[in-house]
Amino acid sequence: MSLSLSNKDEIIMRLVHYFVTEENYQPIVVNGVQNEIWLENIEASYRIIRINSNYIHNNDQLGFDLFKIKNIAKQIKRKTFSLKMNTLNILLDLNADVDMEYEKGIETYKIDSLKDVRNDTGLAGIFPKLKTFTLKKGDNLDFIVNITNDINEKTEEENKNYDNIFKEKKIVITKVIMGVCILCYLMQMFVQGFESALLLNPAKVLEGEYWRLITAAFLHGSPLHLFVNMYALNIIGTQVENFMGKKKYLAVYFGSAITASMMSAAITSTLSLGASGAIFGLLGALAYFGYHFRLYIGGALRQIIPVILINLFIGFMIPFVDNAAHIGGLIGGGFLAMALGIGKKDEGNAKIHGRAIFTIYILFLGYLLFFS
């Protein structure tokens, strides 16, 4: 069996194959469009690539085409909480008399042949790999099958990574932390001096009792205080441990506890105890996770942010709630999640930036606590 493959179809297949397998773009479904392919990579300089094989015969039609792209890009921008949505618009059938128009955030290229793709003034000027990236055409059927297999293999690899992150795992660390908190509360009730030796006392921290920055996160002031925090930890901690893994989860929990205590000691200078600062750190990590996987878990980030804001608001309204600790833990948890990375998605600059930012944050809190 033989298949007829037009020049336009070949260009489309080669471009899609390249962008998916080499530049880590993912196909996205856009309702109401025909003969168009939309690709997305929210970490690339061009977050959206759109390949249009429809015939554009005059300037008015091109103007409407750009207007359509702009509206779709706005929808994706809102969905992904992105500040910019640079779009690469590739046109495969543009009338020679049509003037290429400029639209902010949209860069348009006209492609008539594979030579245009590999030309420095064309797409190869943006993606240098296109100059040498080759794929044997051979028989049309074999050509299609090979491209399809390559794309499926790449997609399967990505799916395995996502499955590894999202699949349910045995929860251990959260249960251990909850058990330690309950044990510590029993010790507070029956062992004299236990609480006073471990709670957050800024004056004692300044004298060198630095362990209080961590141990205070395992103490609680009442059964209700303990119950509320353990209930929140069971819900939020389970998710973070499942998504990030046990080692990273521990790092986020203890790191957030420290930044929460440092912020509290530096700003309020009052005695403090409770796991809520570390739990807010887990919320910060969860918000970072939701941001980076917002294409795969729908409106999760839109659900997390209101939860954070409502809890902060409640903290400001109720007396004796240590909101400084909540804010300190929230920021620390978010930065730590960025520094540690999540799966294979954050390999590279994001982790480097996260480590630098978290280090600066710790130094800033240290300055506020010890030198201001």
The answer to whether residues 212 and 287 belong to one domain is: yes
Query: Among candidates 21, 46, 8, which has minimal Cα distance to 123?
Result: 46
Give the residue, 326 or 97, on which the prediction is more confident.
326
The model's confidence at residue 17, banded by pLDDT at 50, 70 and 90, is confident
- Summarised one tens digit per residue, pLDDT across range 241-269 is 998 889 999 999 999 999 999 999 999 88
Please check whether residue 2 lies inside any domain of the structure: no
Range of the domain at 98: 7-165
- Summarised one tens digit per residue, pLDDT across range 160-183 is 766 677 778 899 999 999 999 999
The model's confidence at residue 350, banded by pLDDT at 50, 70 and 90, is confident
Average pLDDT over residues 145-149: 65
The answer to whether residues 183 and 287 belong to one domain is: yes
The DSSP output letter for 326 is: H
Please check whether residue 338 lies inside any domain of the structure: yes
The answer to whether residues 318 and 284 belong to one domain is: yes
Rounded Cα distance, 177 and 175, in Å: 5
Q: Which of 107, 142, 165 is the last residue of a domain?
A: 165
Rounded Cα distance, 367 and 267, in Å: 12
The answer to whether residues 154 and 223 belong to one domain is: no
Rounded Cα distance, 239 and 234, in Å: 9
- Summarised one tens digit per residue, pLDDT across range 75-103 is 877 777 777 788 999 888 888 888 877 78
Active-site annotation, residues:
276, 326
The owner of tokens 């998916």 is 20
Widest distance between CA atoms in the chain: 88
The answer to whether 338 and 288 are in contact (CB under 8 A) is: yes
The owner of tokens 């400029």 is 102
* Adjacency order of strands within the sheet including 48-52: 26-28, 36-40, 48-52, 87-91, 106-110
Give the residue, 135 or 36, on which the prediction is more confident.
36
pLDDT recorded at residue 175: 96
| CATH value at residue 303 | 1.20.1540.10
The answer to whether residues 189 and 114 belong to one domain is: no
Rounded Cα distance, 262 and 209, in Å: 13
Query: Among candidates 110, 154, 209, which has minimal Cα distance to 16?
Result: 154
Give the residue, 119 or 140, on which the prediction is more confident.
119
For residue 32, give both structure tokens.
């109401």
The answer to whether residues 209 and 145 belong to one domain is: no
Q: Which residues are within 8 A (CB) of 58 and not within 5 positions of it... i.e. 6 or more apart? A: 95, 97, 98
Number of structural domains in the chain: 2
pLDDT of residue 4 exceeding 60: no
Please check whether residue 1 lies inside any domain of the structure: no
pLDDT of residue 319 exceeding 60: yes
pLDDT recorded at residue 32: 67
The answer to whether 291 and 301 are in contact (CB under 8 A) is: yes
Please check whether residue 89 lies inside any domain of the structure: yes
Q: Which of 165, 197, 226 is the last residue of a domain?
A: 165
Give the residue, 142 or 365, on which the prediction is more confident.
365
The answer to whether residues 209 and 311 belong to one domain is: yes
Q: Give one DSSP letter per residue of 244-284, joined into a string.
A: H-HHHHHHHHHHHHHHHHHHHHHHT-S-B--SHHHHHHHHH
- Summarised one tens digit per residue, pLDDT across range 288-317 is 888 777 666 655 666 777 777 787 787 777
Q: Give one DSSP letter per residue of 134-175, joined into a string.
A: -----SHHHHHHHHHHHHHHHHHHHHHHHHHHHS-----HHH
The answer to whether residues 293 and 177 belong to one domain is: yes
Q: Which of 137, 165, 193 is the last residue of a domain?
A: 165
The answer to whether residues 113 and 30 belong to one domain is: yes
SS3 (DSSP) at 289: helix
pLDDT recorded at residue 138: 56
The answer to whether residues 99 and 203 belong to one domain is: no
Please check whether residue 101 lies inside any domain of the structure: yes
Q: Give one DSSP letter per residue of 65-113, joined into a string.
A: HHHHHHHHHHHHHHHTT-S---EEEEESSB-TTPPPPPBTTEEEEE-SS
pLDDT recorded at residue 1: 46
Average pLDDT over all residues of the chain: 84
Average pLDDT over residues 209-224: 94
